[in-house]
Amino acid sequence: MRVTVVTTWLPTDRAPSSGSFVLRDSAAIRDAGQDVRIIHLVPPHQDDGARHRTLEGMRVLSIPMKPSNPLSVARVADRLRPALEGADVLHSMAMSSLLPLTVLDHARALTLPWVHTEHWSGLTNPDTLGPALRAAIPVVGHGLARPDLVTAVCEYLAAPIRALRRGLPTAVVPCIVEPQDAVTEPPGGKDTGGINMVTVGGLVERKDPMACLDVLAELTARGVPATMTFVGEGPLRADIEERLAADPALGERTRLTGNLDAAGVRAELARADVFIGPTRGDNFFVSAAEAITSGRPVVVSDAGGQTEYVTDANGTVLPLGAGSRQWADAVVETAERLAPRGAASIAATIGDSFSSAQVGAAYRRLHEEVAGDLRAH
């Protein structure tokens, strides 16, 4: 089956990490035996000028589009008409890709079976949005009502999508998190009682990295020789560094690695005893799942889809708003409770459930289902 992926998120030379999840999903669809072509509706700040290229063996056509400009969206809709010819299934990914496709659908110029995959955390956590994006949610809802099928990465995100689609087909296909070939036991403080904590993600308000420092401070005050490693970048780095400078006891126990590639992230997870994620709102929370597949127990908030795979066998879930004492208690208890299970046992709680093979097969089944339904009508 020939699948054309349309997305506003995809790596470019100017934004090499943008939309890496879209590229992974597209490759999984390809590896499941489908012919995949990608149309990248590239926003101005990511446009490197390339119009035809190949990514991981897949052909990519780049069409410039400024999502906030209705004229730009209309021009892209006209260009998409011929670009979609020859496809058996259209698969859009990311909210803003809906804009020109909705224009085509309104004009009755879109006759392909249409699957859309949504990741946007604004649907599940509108309080984290600015006024302009919050006001756009009804527009997003209108766009989400157009595809034949919409997929979400977790039930947590699927719930508001189902409400917006008013009963139209909605399915769950998880983010890709590959199982590790081998996992190592944590370095641990078996003799010292020490706990090496790590968190992976943007240093932004929604991830609440300052709460991680509160937990570290609480453990330090108890005499627990704990450390904290932040993997990622963001606007709150300066705030973190300011607090560390003001509190040398925390500063000497804290590391900020900046952004790392996949191998670097795995290395930091291997150095840790516990992953901590006091997020105020995630959907799938990929880094928490990556920690588990690396054999590390997790302590996370309940604000997100991570509650669908974090269990007593691999971690602890705390209510949003829990204080630093509760978090410190949970970190110590989780490390002690799960250390005897071993890294391999923790990793096995997810196994290959979120592997690219599983995700690719799930998308292929949905493509065939939607195409079959359209032919039947």
Per-residue burial over 344-356, b = 16 or more CB atoms within 10 Å of its CB, e = otherwise: eebbbbbeeebbb
Per-residue pLDDT tens over the stretch 56-82: 999 999 999 999 999 999 999 999 999
Q: Do 147 and 204 belong to one domain?
A: no
Q: Are residues 266 and 144 in the same domain?
A: no
> What pLDDT is stored for residue 222 in this prediction?
95
CATH code where residue 143 lies: 3.40.50.2000
- What pLDDT sits at residue 349? 98
The segments of the chain whose pLDDT lies below 70 read 188-193, 374-377
Domain membership of residue 73 (yes or no) is yes
CB 30 within 8 A of CB 57: yes
pTM for this one? 0.92
Q: Same structural domain for residues 252 and 136?
A: no
**Residue 5: what pLDDT?**
98
pLDDT for the residue numbered 76: 97
130 in a structural domain: yes
Number of domains in the chain: 2
Question: Domain check: are 304 and 241 in the same one?
Answer: yes
CA 41 to chain centre: 20
Based on the fold, state whether residues 201 and 284 are members of the same structural domain.
Answer: yes
Residue 214's domain comprises 195-347
Question: CB–CB of 93/116 below 8 Å?
Answer: yes
Give the count of alpha carbons within 13 A of 317, CB side only. Answer: 16
Give pLDDT tens digits for 311-328: 999 999 999 999 999 999
In the chain, the amino acid numbered 153 is: V
Residue 235 CB contacts under 8 Å (≥ 6 apart), including other chains: 203, 204
Asked if the structure places residue 184 within a domain, the reply is no
| Residues 242, 311 share a domain | yes
State pLDDT tens for residues 222-264: 999 999 999 999 999 999 999 999 999 999 999 999 999 999 9
Cα distance between residue 38 and residue 58, in whole Å: 7
Give a yes or no: residue 85 inside a domain. Answer: yes
pLDDT of 303: 94
**pLDDT for position 377:** 56
What are the start-end ranges of the H helices in the chain?
Answer: 20-31, 70-83, 98-106, 131-135, 137-144, 155-165, 209-221, 237-246, 248-251, 262-271, 286-293, 324-338, 343-347, 356-376
- Whole-angstrom distance, CA of residue 205 vs CA of residue 146: 33
Q: What is the pLDDT of residue 249?
A: 92
